[in-house]
Amino acid sequence: MDSILETIKVRLASDLLSLSVPSADRAFARVQSASIRRCVAHIWNLGGRLATMTGIEVRDGIEVNYHVCFDGDTLVITLSALAPWPEPSLESVAQDIPGALWIEREIHDILGVSFTGHPDMRRLVLPDDWPEGVYPLRKGFEA
Amino acid sequence: MGWKMWALKKSVWVYHVNVGACNNCDIEILELLTPRYDIERFGMMLVGSPRHADALLVTGICTRQSVRRLQEVYLQTAKPCVVFVIGSCAGDRGIFKAGYGSPAPVDEVIREVDPNAIIAYVPGCPPRPEAMISGVVKALAAI
Amino acid sequence: MKRTLIPIGPYHPLQEEAEFFQLFVEGETVVDMDVRISYNHRGIEELSSRKTFDQVPYLVERVCGICSASHPIAYIQAVEDIARVQVPDRALYLRTIVLELERLHSHMLWIGLAGHFIGYNTVWMWVWRYREPVMDILELITGSRVNYANAKIGGVRRDVSPDLYPEIRKAADAVVGPIELVIKAVRDDPVLRARLKGVGVLKKSAARAWCVTGPTARGSGLHIDVRKDDPYAAYDRLKFDEVVWDDGDVYCKFMVRCFECLEAVKIIHQCLDQIEPGPIDAMVREIPPGDGCGHAEAPRGETFHFVRSDGSATPVRHKVRAPSYVNIPSFKASCVGQEIADVALILASVDPCYSCTERVAVAKDVSTGKVLWTHSDLVRLSREKTVRMGGK
């Protein structure tokens, strides 16, 4: 696990803003938003499997967390990148990893982050009659 | 409609509609067909089309996307028909009541298209297969 | 050749979603497909941020009724990851027993329905009959057949009396015979083999690209099993095999599930051998601020939960990723090039948490809008193919 983390540190080098390792098998890394696609691709090439992505509204924008599991190792590393207001947007990792196609569409639905380069940004989880521009997971949303 | 009601109660064919359930009620309904409960001994049968059905078994909270579809299925069912609302979710949305996922409980959705619909409730999360059989028997005795 | 659109759905319950498949076919061959979900979108993640940490397990066990032990475990592990809780050993073993009993009942449910799809209703009825003792023992342990409400943050809610151990062993042993029978049947019956072998192949590279998990991945030769990779509950103290088959077809996925049932029985026996009296709850008082990831191996694959806490009584954000969410998009890789008659089986092969038998399905001709087939016709096509092969 240490060797994987060391390799990741070297590979991500200048893009890495901070890294915290709260336990032997969990790591949380903050990376430059502009280079998120490259960072995820690096970790993917090391043998990581993109488990899923989580969008969270924070003060400065929408934070998108990429959870990558290393099978055969206990490590789960979470890369996080910020999509700043007013028009949150990030580069799509689904161009490299088909497994991210659905989750990017979902985050677009529920939080309004647009993923540039995503081949198919149609609505996925919200109903057909859901109003445009209303994002249920943003703060201030009333059911 | 006297003879139609008489015929309805003889061997009830049911059609199962899932409008946003977690699958628990659904596997318990399938359980009814298998050797331990074996509802076919009462002449009840799950059928593949609402047009063949005497009763609808509705499970789930009726999500926004399902509202129109449920009404459509109800309208297609041969009349007279009985709607069995299976489980707490279908009855009053249970634990999901506060969420944005469902606009109205199943009975309101059905009453919107037919104010005189015959609706029977089987509560539980999920109701046991015995409870479902007992619910059907009691409902048929009441109409 | 004329291209026809066959919609399947929408009433097909997945974890959070029922879904709507559109198959594009030329003649008998599927050339493309598309999936629309949302029919089952209940807004669980939003609801979860309005519940207290201790209430959320009740909510997440209703994400999917069949994985109702695995989802709370993954969530609880994420929270325990934040709070750095040391869970008592006895609680870990009790969790493992319920998780493995759940795997038994879920896999047997799948084997039965797979039999139903290829026209062997006898398999369905028999396997579901042999599944009943497992449901009974789950009810004895937890109080409900399917919603267990057993695990809590820091331990488990209810202890299991030692008087129950022989009952649990008996229920677990009772499934071994029937499962071995099914394995022999699938291995030796030429028709079953023909219907399953080489059908719906998901290549290893495709499985990796689509990030699939669980029996879907292990049937494609990928070694992904959270129980081995990131041991939780008591799995690091138990000896069991990771069942991996390489070919990626429906046959392999079938076999993976059958053999996992046998492994589950072994695990349950080991747990009962090793379990000792002791406390069952670590009595967690508060959850500090922080991020936590938890994952668990549900019967269908890895369920992944991410929780962010700000030190208050409710999670700020709780993300749920059910296994079918990554397994279902892989249909694009496994269905294309297959016959329509096989599609029902391939869709079933990832076990998308279904009661498919009663979903609405209608096929329309794109140009005329005329209704051609219903879902029961798809199942009929599948069964006719079995009969044709039997006649050869």
Q: Which strand (E) or helix (H) includes residue C105?
A: helix C89-117
pLDDT of residue C391: 54
**Nearest CB to B48 within list C18, C40, C375:** C375
For all residues of chain C together, what is the average pLDDT?
83
d(CA A123, CA A44): 26
* Residue carrying structure tokens 């599930």: C257
User: What number is the average pLDDT over the span C55-63?
Assistant: 88
Cβ atoms of B125 and B137 within 8 Å: the answer is no
Which residue on chain A is closest to B67 by alpha carbon? A127
CA of B9 vs chain A CAs: smallest distance (Å) = 37
Contact C30, C340 (CB under 8 A): yes
Q: How much is the average pLDDT of B90-118?
A: 88
Tell me the pLDDT band of C370, cut-offs 50, 70 and 90.
very low
Structure tokens at B77: 């069912």
Is the Cβ of B43 closer than 8 Å to some Cβ of chain A? no
* pLDDT surpasses 80 at C105: yes
pLDDT for the residue numbered C373: 45
Within 8 A by CB and 6+ apart from C88, the residues are: C155, C278, C279, C280, C281, C282
pLDDT at C361 over 80: no
Does A26 sit within 8 Å of C81, measured CB to CB? yes
Residue A74 · residue A25 · CB < 8 Å? yes
- At residue C136, the pLDDT reads 92
Q: How many helices (H) and strands (E) does chain A have?
A: 3, 7
How high is the pLDDT of residue C353?
53
Q: How many CA atoms lie within 13 A of A104 on its CB side?
A: 25
Please list every residue in chain C whose beta carbon sits closer than 8 Å to the beta carbon of residue A100. 211
Residue numbers of A between 71 and 130 with CB closer than 8 Å to B: 127-130
The answer to whether A136 contacts C46, with C-beta atoms less than 8 Å apart, is yes
Asked if the model's pLDDT at residue B39 lies above 90, the reply is no
B103: confidence class by pLDDT, cuts 50, 70, 90 = confident
Please give the angle made by the CA atoms of C286, C291 and C292, to the nearest 5 degrees: 85
Fold of C44-325: Cytochrome-c3 Hydrogenase; chain B (1.10.645)
Q: What is the pLDDT of residue C357?
A: 27
CB pairs under 8 A between A and C: 97
Q: Where are the domains of chain B?
A: 11-142
A121 CB neighbour count, 10 Å cutoff: 14
Q: Which pTM was predicted?
A: 0.90
CA distance B35 to B33: 7
CB C373 within 8 A of CB C6: yes
**CATH 3.30.460.80 is held by the domain A12-85+92-116:** yes
Residue C341 in this model has a pLDDT that exceeds 80? no
Cβ distance C302 to A126 less than 8 Å, yes or no, reads no
Question: Looking at residues C206-213, what average pLDDT do you find?
Answer: 91
Residues of chain C above pLDDT 90, percent: 46
Q: Are C264 and C108 in contact (CB under 8 A)?
A: no
Residues of chain C with C-beta less than 8 angstroms from the C-beta of B73: 360
All residues of chain A having their beta carbon less than 8 Å from the beta carbon of residue C37 are 124-125
**How many Å lie between the alpha carbon of C117 and the closest alpha carbon of chain A?**
28
Name the nearest CA neighbour of A5 among C280, A19, A14: A19
What pLDDT sits at residue B42? Answer: 85
pLDDT in tens, C227-264: 998 999 899 999 999 999 999 898 999 999 999 999 99
Chain B positions in Cβ-Cβ contact with residue A129 (cut-off 8 Å): 64-65
Domain B11-142 class, CATH top level: alpha beta
Cβ contact, residue pair B20, C40, below 8 Å:
yes
Q: Do C223 and A72 touch (CB under 8 A)?
A: yes
Residue C138 to residues C146, C198, C349: CA-CA distances in angstroms? 8, 36, 26
How does DSSP classify residue A56? E
Q: How confident is the model at residue C325 (pLDDT cuts 50, 70, 90)?
A: confident
The pLDDT value recorded for residue C354 is 40
Mean pLDDT on C90-115: 92
Place of tokens 């039997």: C390
DSSP reduced 3-state for C133: helix
Delimit the CATH 1.10.645.10 region(s) of chain C: 44-325
Residue A131: CB atoms within 10 Å: 6
Mean pLDDT, residues A27-50 = 91
Average pLDDT, chain A: 89
Neighbouring residues of C203: CB distance < 8 A, sequence distance ≥ 6: C220, C248, C333
* Chains in contact with A via at least 3 Cβ–Cβ pairs below 8 Å: B, C
DSSP one-letter string for B53-96? -SEEEEES---HHHHHHHHHHHHHSPSS-EEEEEHHHHHH-GGG
Lowest mean pLDDT among B64-73, B103-112, C48-57, C373-382: C373-382
CA dihedral for A102, C341, C350, C299, sign (positive or negative): positive
The domain ranges of chain A are 12-85+92-116
Q: Which residue has the higher pLDDT, C363 or B123?
A: B123
Check CB contact under 8 Å for B27 and C146. yes
Pick from C356, C354, C234, C358: nearest CA to C299: C354
Q: Give the residue from chain B lying closest to A130, CA to CA.
A: B64
Q: Is the pLDDT of residue B45 over 70?
A: yes
Six token digits for residue C187: 């291995």
Condensed to tens digits (0 to 9), the pLDDT of residues A52-110 reads 999 999 999 999 999 999 888 888 999 999 999 889 999 999 999 998 998 899 899 88
Q: What gap in Å lies between CA C281 and CA C308, rounded to an integer?
A: 23
- The residue of B19, B68, B95, B100 whose CB has the most chain A CBs within 10 angstroms, and thus the best one to mutate to test that interface, is B100
